[in-house]
Amino acid sequence: MKRAVFPGSFDPLTLGHYDIIERGLKLFDEIILAIGVNADKKYMFSLERRLQFLEETFKDEPKIKVKTYEGLTVDFCMRENADFILRGLRNPADFEFEKAIAHTNRKLQKIETVFLLTSSGKSYISSSIVRDVIRNNGDYTLLVPDAVRV
């Protein structure tokens, strides 16, 4: 079975994430959406709410599992018997950052990172932009799946 972990904070889940996940389903038998928990980070949405966003959005997709984890992503992948990490790339800066993480992860464990380019119509969307739009009472509904529209 080809199992991938798609890690992130998903604060909140965006249409950019959704794009990568949907396209990743064609490549993998199972994708674990792994919400990383970082005690030092301030989140806009609670862990419970972020879990709800993911579970509701993918409730009809049996190839998707949603879990949380702390610590290194590669250690979580080993516990879950995942041989791949799935990541999305929006721009060259993402590539440079993600490349360094992928090399480090492969050094720590024998795990491959698979990169998918975000679809051109969604490459500008990021969770931080969505949070900024929400904070400023803008219409963020065009940037997120239905389950995130609170």
Catalytic residue set: 17, 41, 90, 127
Length of the chain: 150
> Hey, what's the torsion of the CAs at 142, 31, 94, 108, to 10 degrees?
160
Q: How far apart are CA 148 and CA 69, in angstroms?
A: 21
Q: Are 2 and 27 in contact (CB under 8 A)?
A: yes
Query: 87: burial class by Cβ within 10 Å (0-12, 13-18, 19+)?
Result: buried
